[in-house]
Structure 1
């Protein structure tokens, strides 16, 4: 079924629901792995703009944002990895998913930046259109 699962996570409530679905998929297939990917648009992230001053602090803040997702995966006993990527979220997720041959992408229907979604279209919609594998959008 789905052995290599990409979970796009930003710590939002929709992202947490997507984590639940990714974990459920992982439990269906032996030796599956969930890669939790967090993408920060460095154009809009003040923390990343200052990364040269405090690289460790930025990473810790990003991990803190994913704390609930990490806890869910740990408690479920699934195999997972966390990746932090930089770039515009939709194209970065699409490129990462396509280059790494994931079986499925799981993503929340809305993220933390609602205004940007209204102006530019949702990240999940763009990922669904651009990814080479199935995309599960979780409400």
Structure 2
């Protein structure tokens, strides 16, 4: 089954639903390990620091975004580790997944409107096309 699970988190509702699925899968195999990766987009990081204040305040805000996800794993007593990485989300998630021996990647599908998706693309779609492992995209 799935022993090493990578879960991409961004704090969105879809990310929370993806975390629920990660908890379910991890519960099926004794000794499963989940790595929760939260990618801090460079452009978003600069904007956050300008609007929110000190880097400590920004860090606390980021932690709060994924706190409900962490709580899910802790309440179910599932072993997890958390990684916060700077970069372009689709690139970082893809590289992280491909450079380590994960069995599956679980992530939420972001709800972009058709115009945004056409111009910017979708992180989940980009990751799906770049990774070498099975991917579960949760709506």
Q: Same fold (TM over 0.5)?
A: yes
Greater shift in the superposed pair: 95-104 or 54-63: 54-63
SS at match of 1:31: coil
Q: Deviation at 1:35?
A: 0.7
TM-score by length of 1: 0.88
Structure 1: 5+ residue runs without aligned partners? none
1:66-98 CA-partner distances (Å, limit 9, x unpaired): 011111111111001111011110011000111
Equivalent residue runs for 1:92-131 within 5 Å: 92-110=92-110, 117-131=117-131
| Partners of 1:107 and 1:138 within 8 A in 2 | yes
Stretches of structure 2 lacking an aligned partner (at least 5 in a row):
none
The residue aligned with 2:62 is 62
Query: Aligned pair in 2 of structure 1 residues 127, 22: CA closer, same or farther (>3 Å)?
Result: same
2:48 is the alignment partner of 1:47: yes
Superposition RMSD in Å: 2.1
Tell me the TM-score normalized by structure 2.
Answer: 0.88
Q: Distance in 2 between matches of 1:116 and 1:102?
A: 30
Structure 1 pair 49–102 and aligned structure 2 pair: CA distance change class (3 A):
farther
For 2:135, the equivalent position in structure 1 comes to 135
2:49 aligned with 1:84: no
Total equivalences in the alignment: 137
